[in-house]
Every structure is written in structure tokens, then in C-alpha cells.
Amino acid sequence: MSENCEFKYTDYKNDLRVRWCPGCGDHAILNAVQKAMASLGVEPHNVAVISGIGCSSRFPYYMNTYGFHTIHGRASAVASGVKVANPNLHVWQITGDGDALAIGGNHFIHLIRRNIDINVILFNNQIYGLTKGQYSPTSKRGFISKTSPFGTVEDPFRPGQLALGARSQFFARTIDKEIKLSVAVMEEAAKHRGASIVEVLQNCVIYNDNTHEAITDKKHKADRTIILKHGEKMIFGAEKNKGLVMDEDHNLKAVTIGEAGYTLEDILVHDAESYHVSMHRKLSNMEYPELPVALGVIRSVKGVSYDESVNDQLEQIQAQTSVHTFEELVNSGDVWEVK
């Protein structure tokens, strides 16, 4: 990644008319991704954007980069192939809650486990939009939709917990309309070597409007979310007077500084780079109204990516081997000559 920012976000736009519904959260996410790329200074021809199927998966068509709109659920696998074939590319996967967590669940967890250097942008709107409104694996229990007219009787995945369970080394969360936060988070995700999962709380204006409104609404956002920053105290609230502490059962608790004996000293510091996952799991699981919803980079642990390891191994073996060509291969072992 070059340091100089010689690109504008418009360099990543093409002239295709964007066909998402007016007011859809996807527009803002597209904008944020393009801004993040410009800020990173990645040349458009070194970017590959891979998607599956769903509203969000139309994304690659709107990018002036290489792009592949694949089949339902398989974007993680296709993206993995792209990255391993050419590790110099910056590979982004665009996916939704149905694409990544239902039909593509297996590929999603294995992409994370392998730690392939791909930036996964997971649009979570808790609904199947392109098929016009069925519940998804992130829809809350009891959710009423066309395929659950009496409410669902199943619990949703928490994408963060799922990713961390699959040994995710990078997990972050943002909100579609918070473009500034999204750009910052996506830049971090891109810089991370390995699989980076960014969950974007995205609004489907047609089939699940306002699903995240309780926390994303301007009036309440500051009190119902917390933006985590590595190395800083976990403080939130419109008055910046609330914070997270650990209670006697080792659960997170939101307190008000200056009340019930809590001081600034008591507020926990966010350590995104800790290898231990338990605090990250607690943070990613926080739900309103019990606790504020965590935004920003929740976990970012340095490690070796799969694609780096593949290349290291190839180089190492090629340095040691006595077989360097096809001819040497077929002539090695049990060979005899007929004269």
C-alpha cells in the first residue's frame, strides 16, 4: 500500500447508474469504501471486489476496479482463490447477512479461520431484501416477515461472536450512515494483514426500515452506542460521562462517572490488540438496551496471513528441493531405460 494519497474517491467510481433503492444504506457504504480506498492510495487496477448474491452484492458493478459478482454464498471462496492466486491484489468481499451467514456460513467461518488477507464488508440489515422480505439469520427472535408471519422461533447469529468463534483476528462494527466512522474502520481493516470482518449495521428502507433505528437515531446514538478506540478508556454518552466497567460476575456494566462511587479511574481501557478473546467477545455481544452497542475496531490482533504463509512455504520448499522442473519431476524415482 503506497503512503501517498494520489487518488480521489471518484477514481473508484464508474459511470454505471447505481440501482439500489433511494434511501438504501448501501449508497453510503459504497461511498465509504471508495473514500477508504482513496485514502489508502490503492491503485484501482490492484483492487478486486468480490460479492455473492443479494442487494449488497451488486456492489462490484459500481466500482472502477476489477470485480466479480459471483453466486449466492460463495464470495468468500471465490475471493480466497483470487487472493491466493495473486497475493498482491487488495481483495474486498462484499456480502450480506443472508449471503455470508446462511448459505455462505461455511465459507465465511473458514475464510476467517484461515486468516486470508481479505476485507469482508458484511452488510447486516437483518432481512432478505432482494427476495422481498424474508427473515435472515440475524433477524431477532419473534421477527415478523413473509416467511415468519407469526414471528420467528429461532435465535439470530451475532456476527461478531460467530467471527470471534472462528478465531477472527480483526472484527469491527460501523453504521451505514456514519460515513466518517466507516471510512476509518475500513482503513484499519485494509491495513490489517489477514481476514478483516467489518459488520455494517445497514438499513433496508423497503423491507426492514429502521431496524437499527433505536441505536442509530441521532437523538440517542451517543447514549446507546460506544465508539471503541484502542488504548483509550471506554467512555460514551452525549455528556461523555458514561463508561464500561467489569461487575463482580465478570460481566460488562455501563456506569455513570460520578454516580454510585464510580470515577474515571474505574473505567476500562480498550485493548483491541490483546490476543485473549474474552473481552472482545463481551464487547461485540453488547446489545441495547442492556448495554451500548460497540462500534469501531473491537479486535485487531497481528498475525501471519494464510496467503503470506503459502508464499513463504513455496519459497522455502523451492529453495530446498532437487526437483525444479517438470523434466526433473518425471525423471525422479523409479525410472528405467529401454534401449
Residues at the interface with another protein (CB under 8 A): 16, 43-46, 48, 50, 53, 60-61, 63-71, 74, 76-86, 88-89, 106-107, 110, 310, 313-314, 317-318, 321, 323-327, 329-331, 333-339
> Minimum distance between the CB of residue 43 and another protein, rounded to whole angstroms?
7
Residue 248 or 325 with smaller CB distance to another protein: 325
CB of 112 to another protein, least distance (A): 11
Strand, helix or coil for residue 100: helix
The three three-digit cell numbers of residue 196, written as one number: 478483516
What cell does 257 get?
Answer: 462517572
Nearer to another protein, 250 or 324 (CB): 324
| Nearer CB in complex with another protein: 132/180 | 132
Classify residue 23 by burial, with Cβ atoms within 10 Å: 0-12, 13-18, 19+.
exposed
Closer to another protein by Cβ: residue 103 or 172: 103
Q: Give the integer Cα–Cα distance in Å for 200 and 198.
A: 6
Longest dimension (CA), the chain: 96
CA 51 centroid distance within chain: 13
H/E element, 27: helix 26-40
Nearer to another protein, 108 or 128 (CB): 108
- Shortest Å distance, C-beta 53 to another protein: 8
Helices (H), 41-104: 75-85, 97-98
Q: Supply the minimum distance, in Å, between the C-beta of residue 121 and another protein.
A: 17
CB-wise, 260 or 319, nearer to another protein? 319
Considering the complex, state which of residue 76 and residue 138 has its C-beta at the smaller distance from another protein. 76
Q: Rounded to a whole number, what is the distance in angstroms from the first to the last CA of the chain? A: 58
Angle (nearest 5°) at CA 179 between 173 and 185: 40
Give CA–CA dist 48/12, Å, rounded. 11
Residue 243 exposed, middle or buried by CB count within 10 Å (0-12, 13-18, 19+): buried
Work out how close the CB of 309 gets to another protein at its nearest, in angstroms, rounded to a whole number. 12
∠ CA(199), CA(205), CA(206), 5° rounding? 120
Q: Are 82 and 108 in contact (CB under 8 A)?
A: no
> Smallest gap, in angstroms, from Cβ of residue 296 to another protein?
30
Min CB(310)–another protein separation in Å: 7
